[in-house]
Amino acid sequence: MKINEDLNRLSQDQRLYQLEVPVIGLTGGIASGKTTVSHKLQEKGFAVINADHLVKDIYALPETLKFITTEFPDVIKDGEIQFPLLRQYVFSNIENKVKIENFIYDRLAQAFKAAFNKLDHPKMIIYDVPLLFEKNLQHLFDMTVLVYAPREIQRTRLMKRDNVLEKMADSMLKSQMDIEEKKLKADFIIDNSKSDSELAEEINRLIHKLQIH
Ligand code: ATP
């Protein structure tokens, strides 16, 4: 199986972290099904790197504990970061948010490269990035893929998955860019508004686009 050379939209130096292979950005909206799709692609042998997992790895570094201990000592209990407290610091104060984000983002390239080097010479990378469009990163990808479900379906799935009430679900949805806006920006849409079997067909459509058979 070969990759579709049309995906080589960018030169290496234009690409995210100057990757030598095409990089496909996979994104979605809250509870639209991105994680479900990402797992399915991994099962089918695609090399997937997950931005949230990289951030989690960075939070586990001793230097991060040291940074948080120095900057936000109240957030540390028994030598560990208390994430609910840290989230409060981030949400209540933009300066705190920028300080923490800058620390994490400065280490993201290195974490990405480490994850990439663990893979077995993949021909392309699928990078799962929840806030790809919110952070305006689309120009760094050879192709962007949006896992789409209309807002009402997002809300229903979110209420069920996270066991939250409608009001809470709506305020969580409001914190992200509207999925209809993302739909206009994405190169490829995976429609996940229907059943699991229809999602499987949509994933096959993507795989067909990524590969030459
Ligand atoms: P988030 O970004 O909020 O983590 P996500 O986009 O990764 O969300 P998932 O966690 O994959 O979304 O899916 C949200 C919920 O919807 C999950 O409980 C999942 O099992 C369910 N779900 C996903 N696809 C479908 C589908 N086609 N039909 C019914 N339920 C689905």
From-to residues of CATH 3.40.50.300 in the chain:
5-12+19-57+115-210
- pLDDT, mean over the chain: 95
Residues 155-183 have pLDDT tens digits of 999 999 999 999 999 999 998 999 999 99
Residues 58-86 have pLDDT tens digits of 999 999 999 999 999 999 999 999 999 99
Angstrom distances, CA of residue 123 to CA of 55, 111, 118: 24, 20, 14
Nearest CA to ligand 1 atom 23: 33
Q: Which fold has domain 5-12+19-57+115-210?
A: Rossmann fold (3.40.50)
d(CA 124, CA 145): 14
What SS3 state is found at 202? helix
Percent of the chain surpassing pLDDT 70: 99
DSSP one-letter code for 58: H
User: Is the pLDDT assigned to residue 212 strictly greater than 70?
Assistant: no
Nearest CA to ligand 1 atom 8: 31
Could you tell me if the CB of 30 is within 6 A of ligand 1? yes
d(CA 123, CA 196): 28
- pLDDT greater at residue 29 or residue 89: 29
Residues 135-150 have pLDDT tens digits of 999 999 999 999 999 9
Structure pTM? 0.94
Instruction: Output the pLDDT for position 4.
Output: 83
Residue 77: its H or E element:
strand 76-77
- Residues 30-46 have a mean pLDDT of 97
Instruction: Output the pLDDT for position 213.
Output: 59
What atom in ligand 1 is closest to the CA of residue 39? 11
Could you tell me if the CB of 27 is within 6 A of ligand 1? no
Most ligand 1 atoms within 8 A of CB, residue of 38, 53, 157 to mutate: 157
